[in-house]
Amino acid sequence: LLDRLTPRQRDAILLAKNHGYYEWPRKINASQLAEYMNITKSTLVEHLRKAENALMHQILIGF
C-alpha cells in the first residue's frame, strides 16, 4: 500500500503512526510532527490527508 505514496507522504504517515498521532488521545500533535520533518504544519497536514486518502482508496476498492 505504501508504494503508492510519495516519499514525503510515506515519511509523514509513518512518523505520525510511530509517534502516536493516530492514538486517542494523541501522543503528539501536527505542529510537533511538522517540526520533526522541518516543514510547516499546513504542509504536514496536506501530506497526511493525501496519504490517508490514497490508503483509504486502496483499502476500499470494490466497496
- Tens digits of residue pLDDT in 7-40: 999 999 999 999 999 999 999 999 999 999 999 9
Alpha helix stretches (DSSP H) within 1-63 = 7-18, 30-37, 41-59
SS3 assignment, position 2: helix
What cell numbers appear for 32 in the block?
Answer: 510537533
Confidence band, pLDDT 50/70/90 cuts, at residue 63: confident
Question: How far, rounded to the nearest angstrom, does the alpha carbon of residue 37 sit from its chain's CA centroid?
Answer: 12
Confidence band, pLDDT 50/70/90 cuts, at residue 55: very high
**CB-based contact 24:56 (threshold 8 Å):** no
pLDDT for res 52? 98
The domain segmentation of the chain, as residue ranges, is 2-51
